[in-house]
Structure 1
Amino acid sequence: MRHPNRSGWYRNGGGRGTSHRSEVPRVPIAIPTALTERRLTTRDHLAMEATAVMYVVAVATTAQFSGSRWFLFPALAAISDDVLTRPWGKWASQPGRLVVTPTLGAAIGTLITKQFAYHVLSVLLIVTACLGLLAILRSNIGPAIAAGMLPLVLGITSWLYPVAVMIGLVGVVVLLVPWHRHYQRKYPDQVEVATSDIDDRLEAPPVGNRWILPLYLFLATLACYATVSGLRLLLVPPLVVIAYEMFANPDSCPWAQKPFTLPLACLLTATAGWLAVTAFGASGIAAGLSMATGIAVLRLLQIHMPPALAIGLLPLVISSDGIKYPICVAIGATALTFVFLLYRRWIARPGCATESISMR
């Protein structure tokens, strides 16, 4: 039910309030009607999705012929698709941080991987360092965490990895800057929407620290099991980003609103990537098919979850584990859903809700 306020704006009951229980007080947040109207035309949206896919295909082809599998940074799929189809978003509005943050995250991950083997402590060390990086740079580029985790999962110790990440992201920015200018000219009414009132609320860095302990408990538990079992893919880098966004922003994270859809989306995108690589090898064709299928899956499930596209590209850079890859991803995503539901139930308690609201 919509609740009007003095400014004539409204918010939907399923939005950013702590609406998980009926007894939890709701705090209205003014979100303009223009937010729901701020979108590209169908033609422009499809054109930008195609551009993102073609760019990833080009990078994957370069990686294939250069012999450097990690030249394809899987999060490029998530980043390129998000910034090109949402040129009004926070990621698209800060091209400098878009390049610098994941590059430094990749350097952090490489440095730690050179010193430590895969272990629960090394996982938590990388995550902590990357979260510190986000705080220092005042950046919300979550894929920087995935950039830091990838070297540990794959055993990458070459300093060419962060260089490759930087080159790939510079390419995204080269595509983004002229498109962003064109968007501002073509959609002047959308540009005039007060982004400080919209994006800062829906894409702002996490507030408070209530989410830190549950996130670390989840990561530590899954990393411990991955270490003991040898199944590192239970905690793939994109899943760490997905978990971070869910725990840190449980009220505004798009996929946090559909937790039961999360495992299905991850399973389908992982399966698509595995099948594409099985059929075409680690090639540009496989990358294009995987990403295009991932986009279709997310659209079919009606969920905006860019990291799932990175899950689809991971089979191109990992040593083939066959069908174990999508199974491991599904197990990890299901575990995340279960833990998140417990976490959401915990913060929905009246006492916790009041404290959470006071921190915003």
Structure 2
Amino acid sequence: MPAIVRPVCAAEIATKPQSFPAGQAGLAGSGRLAAEVIALVYIGVIASIASVTGAFYVLFPELGALSHDVFTRPRGTWARAPVLLAITPPLAGAIGIAITRTLPYGMLSVLTVVCSSMLLIVVLKSPIAPSISAGLLPLVLGVKSWWYPPAILFGTILLAALASVWRRYWERDHYAPRLADRTEDALERSPHNYRDLLPLIAFVAAATVAAELTNLRFILFPPLVVIGFEMFGHPEICPWAARLMALPVACFLTAVAGLVLFKLVGGNPLTAALAMAAGIAVLRVLDLHVPPALAVALLPMVMDHPSYAYPFSVGIGTLSMTLWFRGWKAVAPRHFPGQPA
């Protein structure tokens, strides 16, 4: 019989975040290794299709984040929502294309994409936060092809089908949930109070200004908004928020790994698999479960001539948001009653 896991309340996680290391969520041992191999093969197949067809956007970077989570956590929030997993990212992608074709890159277009993608998640009651990245990516990269949404749809339908089979297998095999899974499930659900996202929107606006002033668009790299959605949407239970440098270091290192591999090996399916494997290794060493960080490793595969400014932009953006989040948590309880400390 599966182990009975004591329910974990938000207050307990908030007061003892170190007791619930996110890196220990999901499968363990040979089961986790098999799950990660399947995720790598999946990304390799998607990258091969992108290479053969010449449609680079088939390799939507957040597929790395989604595939790793649904295979390593077959009973997780994302894995239990296969229909929303399949349809939410391409719908957000369509929003992104429509806005990119209408407005130039700037504060208005970025906020419109981000807020519209969040609204889509609210309307659909979808837990698939990486869909926000699907909406923002065309604007950041300048993609205007209407083939982008169906390209994402192909990858998400394939992933949802594979994840459903994998989940049924582990339901038969007595996969025992862990305490850390409760934390991750809560983080991946939609926020209970969407007013908590207002400081995130303010950060997005400020980061857009910084990106325009410095000409470093990847200060606001798309997965960063996904990370922020989880942090600000669930400020009381974010287990890695107390580790100030862990998140910026993880994103910086995965960006370095993805860029160096792209420079050395080239833009091919092997590079995609190796970049994701490097990202997995970084998260394991740092004991983090932050799926969007894997998308950071894959982003150079879809960028036009990525430079060494990319990882530094990622590091600046992630550190800035982490400091913003910590500052908000310190200030909000005093000035905004009802906000968690």
TM-score > 0.5 by shorter chain:
yes
Q: Give how far 1:212 is off.
A: 2.6
Q: Give how far 1:18 is off.
A: 6.2
Give CA deviations for 1:233-282 in whole Å, capped at 9, x if unaligned. Answer: 11110011111111111122343243321110010000000001001111
Give CA deviations for 1:21-44 in whole Å, capped at 9, x if unaligned. Answer: xxxxxxxxxxxx9x9997424111
Q: Give how far 1:211 is off.
A: 2.1
Give CA deviations for 1:166-198 in whole Å, capped at 9, x if unaligned. Answer: 00011111211111111100016559x9x9x87
1:16 aligns with 2:4: no
RMSD of aligned Cα (Å): 2.8
Which structure 1 residue ranges, 5 or more long, are not aligned? 1-7, 21-32
* Counterpart in the other structure of 1:346: 331
* Counterpart in the other structure of 1:182: 169
Q: Give how far 1:347 is off.
A: 3.2
Which structure 2 residue ranges, 5 or more long, are not aligned? none
1:57 aligns with 2:57: no
* Counterpart in the other structure of 2:64: 77
- Which structure 2 residues correspond to residues 35-184 of structure 1 after superposition, within 5 A? 39-184=26-171
Name whichever of 164-173 and 201-210 sits farther off: 201-210
**Structure 1 CA distance, aligned partners of 2:297 and 2:32?**
21
- Which structure 2 residues correspond to residues 171-320 of structure 1 after superposition, within 5 A? 171-187=158-174, 190=177, 201-320=186-305
**Pair 290,120 (structure 1): closer, same or farther in 2 beyond 3 Å:** same
**Structure 2 CA distance, aligned partners of 1:340 and 1:77?**
25
- Which structure 2 residues correspond to residues 25-36 of structure 1 after superposition, within 5 A? none
Name whichever of 204-213 and 61-70 sits farther off: 204-213
Q: Give how far 1:217 is off.
A: 1.4
The structure with the larger Rg is 1
**Pair 170,274 (structure 1): closer, same or farther in 2 beyond 3 Å:** same
Q: Give how far 1:319 is off.
A: 1.2
**Pair 178,335 (structure 1): closer, same or farther in 2 beyond 3 Å:** same
**Structure 2 CA distance, aligned partners of 1:224 and 1:129?**
19
**Pair 18,127 (structure 1): closer, same or farther in 2 beyond 3 Å:** farther
2:43–2:63 contact (8 Å) kept in structure 1 = yes
**Structure 2 CA distance, aligned partners of 1:246 and 1:198?**
12
| Residue type at the aligned position of 1:179 | W
**Pair 355,19 (structure 1): closer, same or farther in 2 beyond 3 Å:** farther
**Structure 1 CA distance, aligned partners of 2:286 and 2:339?**
30
Q: Give how far 1:355 is off.
A: 1.4
**Structure 2 CA distance, aligned partners of 1:36 and 1:78?**
14
* Counterpart in the other structure of 2:309: 324
2:207–2:220 contact (8 Å) kept in structure 1 = yes
Name whichever of 242-251 and 133-142 sits farther off: 242-251
Task: Report how many residues are paired.
Answer: 333
Q: Give how far 1:356 is off.
A: 3.3
* Counterpart in the other structure of 2:339: 356
**Relative CO higher for 1 or 2, CA cutoff 8 Å, sep ≥ 6?**
2
1:13–1:19 contact (8 Å) kept in structure 2 = no
Identity of aligned residues (%): 39
Q: What is the TM-score of this pair, normalised by structure 2?
A: 0.90
SS at match of 2:78: helix
SS at match of 1:339: helix
